[in-house]
A and B are shown apart, each in its own frame.
Chain A
Amino acid sequence: MKSRLLTIILAVTLFLLAILSLFVGVMDINLASLFSGDAKQWEIFIVSRLPRLLAILCTGVGMSVAGLIMQQLCMNKFVSPTTGATISSAQLGILLALLFMPGSTLWGRAMFAFATAILGTWLFVWFIQRVKFKDVVMVPLVGIMFGNVIGGITNFLAYKFEMTQALSSWLVGHFSLVIKGRYEIVYLVVPLVIIAFIFANHFNIVGMGKDFSKNLGVNYNVILFMGLTIAAVITASVVVVVGAISYIGLIVPNVVAMFKGDKIRGTLVDTALFGAIFVLVCDMIGRVVIAPYELPIELIVGILGSILFIGLLLYRLKNGRKAIRLTGSGTTGCGNSSSHLDGGNQT
């Protein structure tokens, strides 16, 4: 019962915040004039406010679920679209689209972004599996480095072809350009999250290792790549519309897992709701702080996120988890595929 309660609280909070957010902005919109049929107010509402809210919700849900999937599949609590090179790969894809197809539509750019995000994520996971890092912090570090290499290539190309200005919109995530007709790709998040929910148990099983998966008749590689592909496409569809938003995929799943454990079936809904709340709150702060101007959401998320992230790191270092294995007491340190923060301090 207690677990249901959290879901209900999150859902109600999100609902109230969502309503509130519709009435926060440069132009004053109030219920009275909406009901009296003020055409101009309705226009702002339909063209700007509502799309913005929907984009925010999709972003929050998508990025946190993508992070959840990546963390489970990689058996590492610090892997996320940011630390797994997915976001920077998607940005490279957008730049390539701008270079090779200058007249490309949103969908054209999205296709490029999907392809590069999927490839980048696969490459990263293939690499960490190949090298079999034993240290839990090593994996996200490698991911960050890999992401920076890709980011470097993106920047180089952007400078060379004088595209830095065009690209900047995708480097720092913000919702100010989200209006009707320019954001609908982000709806892709919805079916993908539903697929993720259907395959939740598969992802859990793959997260417990290759042998464990085989024992239960689950095809490890197929599920691994399917999960990574879902996470990459979710991320890319968000990046194409609003740009890079870091930390959400890292922090939200971790915070939820602290309370509700790692069974994806049990945490996916809460993770999605909490992610949406987190992005919504950050966006509202960004809209209010220097009104009538607004700060890009990436800035707010970055500040709040990094504080939470440090807290999370300290928490994990303090409460190192014990591994469960056939041979019992967890005194044997971590196996070659394990890569948990506490892995190191068991040996």
Chain B
Amino acid sequence: MQIKDLTKKYNGNPVVDSVDLEIPKGKVISFIGPNGAGKSTVMGMISRLIARDSGLVAFDGTDIEKWKSKELSKRLAILTQSNNIQMKLTVRELVAFGRFPYSGNRTTKEDEEIIQQAIAYMELEEFQDRFIDELSGGQRQRALIAMVIAQDTDYVLLDEPTNNLDIYHATNMMKIVRRLCDELGKTIILVLHEINYAAFYSDYICAFVDGKVAKFGTVKEVMTKETLSEIYKVDFEILEIEGKPLSIYY
């Protein structure tokens, strides 16, 4: 996936200002940066949820806006914070919607198998016939991820998946993300606020400041005292735990 000169303006003010990026395949890439840096807007534009003002997002060599929506939904899945599902659906019914781009209204035997695998992968078998509104927050979230797995896309985009989660659920979420990449070979793009989750669980980090890419590189390249201090305008120390750089800020 290639992003060239991507720009978005709200009321004349650029929120995303000529962003160039090349997303490496089969890796976990985290977007970090202060509030209002444009991370979620970039995410929205590369997933066609937000219309861009100018620039290009090439997905598999074709501009993302030229893709047929249905075809694209077999290749790229996005979960945003506005996924506020208030329907009384069973876990299985929700996961089955992941097959919608493939089979529309009629799920085939193959679909049923994929749905079952996705449920098993997220360890939701015992809840599959329960309504999602009867489940705990962590279980519901796993149900949504299971739907994305059933959608069977190469790319998975998650907008602030750890927001509002306690440490236990947030860490579990990040472990799931890592598994999706390592075991299923998916390319995963995340918007994260928690820098250390980005550092520990991703392969690449892209830091945004004022709508521009401040730094893009491997975790080790971005997680330096100087870079982080410059991005966040606070003092940082970098520690190393399990061979990975983690930051402390104060």
Counting CB contacts under 8 A, is B152 at the interface? no
> Is A36 in contact with chain B by the CB < 8 A criterion?
no
The complex places the Cα of A267 from the Cα of B143 at a distance, in Å, of 22
Q: Which residues of A contact B38 (CB under 8 A)?
A: none
Q: A323-B84, A324-B86, A324-B143 are in contact. Are A217 and B69 (CB under 8 A)?
A: yes
Contact yes or no, B83 A325, CB < 8 A: yes
- Rounded to whole Å, the gap between the CB of B241 and the closest CB of chain A is 26
Say which residue of A200, A201, A218, A323 sits within 8 Å of B85 (CB atoms): A323
For B79, give its contact among A75, A215, A321, A337 (CB under 8 Å). A215
B1 proximal to A (CB < 8 A): no
Binds A, one of B10-18, B93-101, B194-202, B223-231: B93-101
Please choose the segment from A232-240, A243-251, A328-336 that sits at the chain B interface, where 4 or more of its residues have CB less than 8 A away: A328-336
Q: Do B49 and A328 touch (CB < 8 A)? A: no
Size of the chain B interface, CB-CB below 8 angstroms: 54
Q: Residues of B contacting A72 with CB < 8 Å?
A: 87
Nearest CB in chain A to that of B87: its residue: A262
Q: Which of A209, A217, A325, A336 contacts B70 (CB 8 A)?
A: A217
**Per-residue interface assignment for chain A, residues 309 to 338, with 1 indicating a CB less than 8 Å from any chain B CB and 0 otherwise:** 000000000000111111111111011111
Decide if A216 touches B81 in the complex (CB within 8 Å): no
Q: Quick one: CB contact mask for B159-177 with A, threshold 8 Å, 1 for yes? A: 1111111100100000000
Chain B residue with minimal CB distance to A207? B87
- Given the interface pairs A216-B100, A216-B101, A217-B73, the reply to whether A326 lies near B83 with Cβ below 8 Å is yes
Most chain-B Cβ atoms within 10 A of its Cβ — which of A266, A323, A327, A343? Answer: A327
**A residues in contact with B78, CB < 8 Å:** 211, 214-215
B77 contacts A by Cβ under 8 Å: yes
Given contacts A204-B97, A262-B88, A263-B93, is CB(A331)–CB(B164) below 8 Å? yes
Give the residues from 4 to 62 in chain A that come closer than 8 angstroms, CB to CB, to chain B: none
Are A201 and B100 in contact (CB-based, < 8 A)? yes
A327 and B73 contact, CB distance less than 8 A: no
A215-B73, A216-B97 known; A334 vs B104 contact (CB < 8 Å): no
- 11 residue pairs A–B, Cβ–Cβ below 8 Å: A208-B87, A215-B77, A219-B69, A262-B89, A266-B93, A324-B144, A326-B80, A326-B160, A326-B161, A330-B137, A336-B82
User: Besides A201-B97, A330-B140, A332-B163, 16 other CB < 8 A contacts?
Assistant: A201-B105, A208-B83, A208-B87, A211-B78, A211-B80, A211-B83, A261-B93, A262-B87, A323-B85, A324-B84, A324-B85, A324-B141, A326-B79, A326-B161, A329-B164, A329-B166
> A-contacting residues of B (Cβ < 8 Å)?
47-49, 68-74, 77-90, 93-94, 97-98, 100-101, 104-105, 131-133, 135-138, 140-141, 143-144, 151, 158-166, 169
A-to-B contact residues, CB < 8 Å: 72, 75, 198, 200-201, 204-205, 207-212, 214-219, 257, 261-263, 265-266, 321-332, 334-338, 340, 342-343
